[in-house]
Every structure is written in C-alpha cells, then in structure tokens.
C-alpha cells in the first residue's frame, strides 16, 4: 500500500519537511526511532529519523544529498510514496536526568525535536545548542526554542548567532562552569565524534544517533555494522542511539565513504 504526502514545506535550500499518511506508524513511533522509505519500484531504501507524528501521518525532514533524496524532493503534496516501513530501531532512553545539553547540527536538528519534547515532559532542564553553516540553513528555530529552557545558536560564518561550531559553544558552557548530566547529539558524523570526545573528557554520558549506510534496517544484511565498546553492533537493531564515548568513529567514517564515487555518479546521471 502506498502512502500519500499530506504536507510538504521547504525549510531551507535543499531541506524539506514532509508529512506522510500512515495508518499504523503514528500510533507506535517513539522518539529516536526511524523509518525506511522506498519512493517507487526502482527506488533504493533510505533511512530517515521520525521528526514527529500526528493523528494519521508521520513527519520526516530531509536534506538532499544524493539521488534518492533529490528524487524525494521532486514529489509534491498528494503524490504517493511506495513504501514507508517503521518504526525501526530502539527508542531513545528518556528519563529524568536533571540538566541535559542537546546538540544539533544542520538537518540533525530535526530528529531531536521529539527527543527534546519527551525529555522536557519528564522534568529535565534543557539547554539546546544548534548549529548550521549559514543563517539560511538554520531550521526549526521557533519549534526548538519553545521546547528548550535555553537555546544557543551558532553558524559557521557568523550570519546568525555567534560564529563557530556547536562544539565551540559546548566548550564555552563547560568553561563557564555549567554541568550537564547527559548530552544528546545528532548531526554530521564528524560533529558527533567531536561532541563525544568532549563528553569522554568530562565523563558525561552522551547519546548520539548513528547514521551508517543501511539496507534492510532489520539486522539481516550487516551493512550498518559499527564498533561500540569493542563489540560489533548493528545500528538498525542495536541502535541507532549509542553512547558516543565508546563508538569507533574512525571506522564508521571510513565505511560511510565506501560508495562515494558510485553515489556521485548516480546523482550526476539523475540530474541529467
Ligand atoms: P547517496 O547517493 O546514498 O549518498 C550521497 C551522499 O550522502 C554521499 O556523500 C554519502 O556518503 C552521503 N550519505 C549516504 N548515506 C548517508 C548516511 N546514512 N549518513 C550520512 N551521509 C550519508 N537524512 C536526513 O536528511 N534526515 C534524516 O532524518 C535522516 N535520518 C537518518 C537516520 C538514520 C538511522 C540513518 C542511517 C540515516 C539518516 N539520514 C537522514 C541520512 C539519509 O539516510 C541519507 O542522506 C540518504 O540515505 C542518502 O541517500 P541518497 O540516495 O540521496 O544519497
Ligand atoms: P553541516 O555539515 O552543515 O553541519 C552542521 C553543523 O554541525 C555545523 O554548522 C557545525 O556546527 C557542526 N559541525 C560540522 N562539522 C563539525 C566538526 N568537525 N566539529 C564540530 N562541529 C561540527 O550539516 P548538514 O549538511 O545539514 O548535515 C547534517 C548531517 O546530519 C548529515 O550527515 C545527516 O546524515 C545527519 N543526520 C543524522 C540523523 C540521524 O538520525 N542520525 C538525522 C538527520 C541528519
Ligand atoms: Fe542491514 Fe542493519 S541495515 S543489518
């Protein structure tokens, strides 16, 4: 059964917010889980984190980076997506921790929304740091601002908030004497690696949502294997969230780039 796009909005250049009709997923999805879509018969399966749910629809926020995400961006309201499978993966470990610092980079800000909402509802005090390359690429400021006790904005070029990376802002807070009981970070892998290095130094548990290449999303193909604490894990069924302090980041980054040449070629052919 295919799924109708009920809403589509452009949040920034190359970043789209979709609501997709689904009869079961909205009832079961929890913060931190993801879904896999296949646009049409010829489409590849792409994993996307659930950014929210409403009565009959699930929300995803997508950045165009390659053939499938560009193709998705060409769809309009009322168009159909062939397959939307989920919820997949384990939910975030939502609990009362005390003071939580949430760090979002680029489109990684989107999947943090349900997590912040749930952490807030369990009584945590939330400091959110969000970063993007430029002011134009900053998304969801209002929604995130309303949910957080404190919101810190940073851009690589200083066009909004202060100039620098999210890790600079986190270091500033720690240098000022702020203490956090948990960190949650979602964004580019390199960002999550450096946030996790700070967490390791400061001995703060740090949840990150890993985004290795996935195929089936159900633990059968092994494509998403990652090393965490010296053990092999499958991000789709054991994660996607892990304590970033124990992730073998260099191996993950190497594996993420393994099909780069083929992905580039595929996008060039699609754009022709
Ligand atoms: P491809 O041709 O496959 O790749 C194009 C470029 O993107 C290449 O440089 C490649 O190295 C890079 N890339 C490919 N796959 C990934 C990946 N998994 N992570 C990082 N870079 C990748 N993206 C979103 O925009 N929003 C989300 O909410 C979101 N949630 C995700 C949740 C999970 C659990 C995972 C595993 C990934 C998530 N991603 C998300 C990333 C998204 O799945 C990829 O961007 C998408 O599959 C790329 O497909 P493509 O055909 O457009 O690009
Ligand atoms: P981007 O490359 O523009 O980076 C966004 C911000 O991350 C930067 O402004 C900066 O503050 C920070 N950052 C980047 N490199 C850093 C470094 N070396 N050290 C410290 N901070 C750094 O972001 P984008 O192009 O929007 O990409 C977002 C990424 O998030 C994609 O890789 C996407 O796959 C990932 N993502 C993951 C999930 C998930 O659930 N795991 C969901 C959505 C997106
Ligand atoms: Fe196949 Fe995780 S995607 S095992």
Pair (116, 75) in one structural domain: no
Give which of 213, 216, 211, 221 is closest to 241, Cα–Cα: 211
Q: Which of 60, 88, 116 is the last residue of a domain?
A: 88
- Compute the distance between CA of residue 22 and CA of residue 14 in angstroms, rounded to an integer: 24
Which one of the ligands is nearest to 170 CA? 2
Residues 182 and 78 in one domain: no
Average pLDDT over residues 171-180: 96
Could you tell me how far CA 63 lies from the centroid of its own chain? Answer: 11
Whole-number CA gyration radius for the chain: 18
Which tokens sit at 230? 């010296």
Minimum-distance ligand 3 atom for the alpha carbon of 222: 4
Are residues 149 and 79 part of one domain? no
Matching residue, tokens 């040449």 = 261
Atom of ligand 1 nearest to the CA of 70: 52
**What integer pLDDT is reported at residue 110 of this predicted model?**
94
pLDDT at 19: 97
In a domain, 263, yes or no: no
Say yes or no to pLDDT of 268 above 80.
no
The answer to whether 36 and 3 have CB atoms below 8 angstroms apart is: no
Q: Judge if the beta carbon of residue 88 lies within 6 A of ligand 2.
A: no
**Average pLDDT of span 67-94:** 95
Q: What tens digit of pLDDT does each residue of 16-27 get?
A: 999 999 999 999
Backbone CA torsion sign across 262, 15, 166, 48 = negative
∠ at Cα 50 (221, 211), nearest 5°? 45
- C-alpha dist (Å) from residue 211 to 34, 112, 163: 11, 14, 27
Question: Measured from the CB, is residue 63 less than 6 Å from ligand 2?
Answer: yes
Last residue of a domain, one of 40, 64, 88: 88
| Ligand 2 atom at minimum distance from 15 CA | 26
219 CB less than 6 Å from ligand 3?
Answer: yes
Q: Is the pLDDT of residue 32 over 70?
A: yes
Same domain, 115 and 74: no
**At 270, is the pLDDT very low, low, confident or very high (cuts 50, 70, 90)?**
low
CB atoms within 10 A of CB 76: 7
Is any atom of ligand 2 closer than 6 Å to the C-beta of 139?
no
Please check the confidence at residue 257 and state whether its pLDDT lies above 80.
Answer: no
| CB 220 near ligand 3, within 6 Å | yes
Same domain? For 129 and 188 the reply is yes
Give how many domains the chain has, as a whole number.
Answer: 2
pLDDT tens digits, one per residue of 43-69: 899 999 999 999 899 999 999 988 899
Q: Which of 65, 87, 187, 262 to mutate to test the pocket of ligand 1 (most atoms within 8 A of CB)?
A: 65
What is the 8-class DSSP label of residue 42?
T
At 15, list the tokens: 């970043």
Residue 195 CB-half CA count within 13 A? 31
Average pLDDT over every residue of 22-51: 94
One domain for residues 121 and 175? yes
Kindly tell me if the per-residue pLDDT of 271 is higher than 80.
no
Shared domain for 34 and 162, answered yes or no, is no
In a domain, 188, yes or no: yes
CATH at 227: 3.40.50.80
Q: pLDDT over 70 for what percent of the chain?
A: 96
64 occurs within a structural domain: yes
Q: How far is the CA of 211 from the centre of ligand 1 (A)?
A: 7
Q: Are residue 74 and residue 121 in the same domain, yes or no?
A: no
H helix runs in 94-140, sequence order:
112-121
Identify any residues that bridge with 4 across adjacent strands, giving them in sequence order. Answer: 80
Task: Tell whether the model's pLDDT for residue 187 goes beyond 70.
Answer: yes
Locate the ligand 1 atom nearest the alpha carbon of residue 46 and give its number: 47
In this structure, is residue 270 part of a structural domain? no
Q: Are strands 15-21 and 3-12 parallel, antiparallel or unpaired?
A: antiparallel
Residue 32's CATH number: 2.40.30.10
Answer yes or no: is 223 within a domain.
yes
Same domain flag for 108 and 32: no
- Domain membership of residue 34 (yes or no) is yes
Residues 105-110 have a mean pLDDT of: 94
Q: ipTM of this model? A: 0.91
- The DSSP symbol for 207 reads E
Evaluate whether residue 271 is within a structural domain: no
Judgement on whether residues 127 and 240 belong to the same structural domain of the protein:
yes
Q: How confident is the model at residue 1 (pLDDT cuts 50, 70, 90)?
A: confident
One domain for residues 178 and 80: no
Task: Look up residue 237 and give its DSSP letter.
Answer: H
75 band by pLDDT with thresholds 50, 70 and 90: very high
Residue with tokens 């548990």: 205
Mean pLDDT estimate for the chain:
94
Which residue's CA is the nearest one to ligand 3's atom 4? Answer: 219
Q: Is 267 within the bounds of a domain?
A: no
Query: Which residue has the least CA distance to atom 1 on ligand 3?
Result: 221
DSSP 127: E
Structural domain of residue 118, as residue ranges? 99-256
Query: To the nearest 10°, the Cα dihedral for 142, 144, 146, 148?
Result: -150
Give yes or no: residues 138 and 63 share one domain: no
- pLDDT at 259 (0 to 100): 65
> 176: which DSSP letter?
T
Please report the atom of ligand 3 found closest to the CA of residue 235: 2
Q: What does the angle CA 266 – CA 270 – CA 272 come to, to the nearest 5 degrees?
A: 120
CA 202 to chain centre: 24
**Mean per-residue pLDDT, 79-83:** 95
């Amino acid at each position: 059964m295919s799924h109708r796009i009920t809403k589509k909005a452009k949040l920034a250049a190359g970043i789209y917010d979709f609501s997709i009709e689904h009869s079961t997923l909205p009832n079961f999805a929890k913060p931190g889980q993801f879904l896999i879509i296949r646009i049409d018969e010829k489409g590849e399966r792409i994993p996307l984190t659930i950014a929210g749910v409403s009565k009959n629809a699930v929300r995803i926020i997508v950045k165009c980076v390659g053939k499938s995400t560009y193709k998705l961006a060409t769809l309009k309201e009322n168009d159909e997506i062939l397959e939307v499978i989920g919820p997949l993966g384990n939910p975030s470990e939502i609990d009362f921790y005390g003071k939580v610092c949430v760090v979002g980079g680029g489109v990684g800000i989107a999947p943090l929304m349900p997590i912040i909402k749930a952490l807030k509802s369990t009584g945590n005090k939330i400091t959110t740091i969000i970063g993007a390359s430029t002011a134009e690429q900053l998304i969801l400021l209002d929604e995130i601002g309303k949910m957080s006790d404190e919101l810190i904005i940073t851009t690589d070029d200083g066009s909004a908030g202060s100039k620098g990376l999210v890790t600079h802002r986190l270091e500033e807070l720690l240098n000022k004497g702020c203490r956090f009981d948990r960190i949650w970070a979602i964004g580019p892998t390199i960002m999550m690696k450096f946030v996790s290095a700070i967490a390791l130094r400061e001995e703060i548990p740090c949840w990150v949502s890993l985004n290795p290449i996935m195929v089936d999303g159900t633990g059968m193909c092994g494509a998403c294997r990652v090393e965490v604490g010296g053990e092999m894990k499958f991000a789709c069924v054991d994660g996607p969230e892990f304590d970033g302090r124990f992730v073998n980041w260099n191996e993950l980054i190497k594996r993420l780039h393994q099909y780069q040449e083929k992905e580039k070629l595929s996008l060039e052919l699609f754009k022709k």
